[in-house]
Amino acid sequence: MLGLPIEHKREVLRLKTGHLKLSGDGVFYTIQGEGKSMGLPACFLRLHLCNLTCAWCDTRYTWDKTQEEFWTESKDVPTESVAHMIQSAWGCNNERIEKRLVITGGEPLLQQKEIQRLLELLPEWIIEIETNGTIIPLPELHERCHFNCSPKLSNSLVEERRRIHGDVLQILNEKNTTFKFVIEKPSDLEEVDQIFVKGFNLDPNKILVMPEGTSSSMLHATLANIAEIAKTKGYRILTRLHCEIWGDQRGL
């Protein structure tokens, strides 16, 4: 694979105490494009590595070992330095605006012990963590953070035993969590209803459904197909605002 030394590959895969493993995107200031806080200014911290392999993932460079970027872009940064990077990247000069940090990936909770340390260094920040709902968060994170949980449907082409962990979902359901589902077709909404709402008793008021796609045309086509069904189930529909603005460009 790319002729890289085996020691380099081991370093890419190894988590280091006192460090966070960042993707090539690292830290950037942007607008939250998805979920409950869609449209608000936010700093993003994109972490490397994931425990799932979703077919439509738009950040494959954080986990796909067949991509050159996976092996060449990641970097281990001391947690204290990451906190400084976040504070330096914050681009809003209005002191009345809430400082919001969105920790994304990959799967951030693979590094949650270091995330806990990071948040101790950012006591005044509002924290969102994006997760796939397969790892139980530490109690300290669960108490402080809002979780944007995106459980994966069969359209992800990931085996059910890997992508659905009912015990984790029910724990997340108890506190500050919204559940965001990527929808390709109307039948995906039935899967949300039968497996997650009826099967695991997730709060339907916490359900967000979002079209799959990275361009306006793709997003609009799916939205048109699912809107009427979502209305009958009472699910909130959101688009992907960052894709509407910037398409599939990275780090914006």
Q: Is the pLDDT of residue 1 over 60?
A: no
pLDDT digits (tens, 9 = 90+) for 28-43: 999 998 888 889 999 9
Q: How would you classify the pairing of strands 19-31 and 41-47?
A: antiparallel
Q: How far is CA 174 from CA 20, 37, 178, 196, 211, in A?
A: 28, 19, 10, 14, 26
Q: Is the peptide bond before 213 cis (omega within 30 degrees of 0)?
A: no
DSSP tag of 96: T
Structural domain contains residue 47: yes
Total domains, the chain: 1
Q: Helices 79-89 and 112-120, interaxial angle, to 10°?
A: 60
Q: Of 9-13, 124-128, 170-174, 228-232, where does mean pLDDT reach its minimum?
A: 228-232
pLDDT digits (tens, 9 = 90+) for 206-225: 999 988 777 788 788 778 87
Structural domain contains residue 220: no
CATH of the domain at 12: 3.20.20.70
Structural domain contains residue 234: no
Q: Is the pLDDT of residue 247 over 70?
A: no
pLDDT more than 70, % of the chain: 96
Structural domain contains residue 233: no
What confidence tier does 227 reach under pLDDT thresholds 50, 70, 90?
confident
Structural domain contains residue 200: no
Structural domain contains residue 162: yes
What is d(CA 44, CA 216) in angstroms, rounded to the nearest whole number?
22
Count CB-CB contacts under 10 A for residue 210: 23
Structural domain contains residue 238: no
Structural domain range at position 113: 6-179
pLDDT digits (tens, 9 = 90+) for 54-106: 999 989 999 999 999 999 999 999 999 999 999 999 999 898 999 999 999 99
Structural domain contains residue 215: no
pTM summary value? 0.92
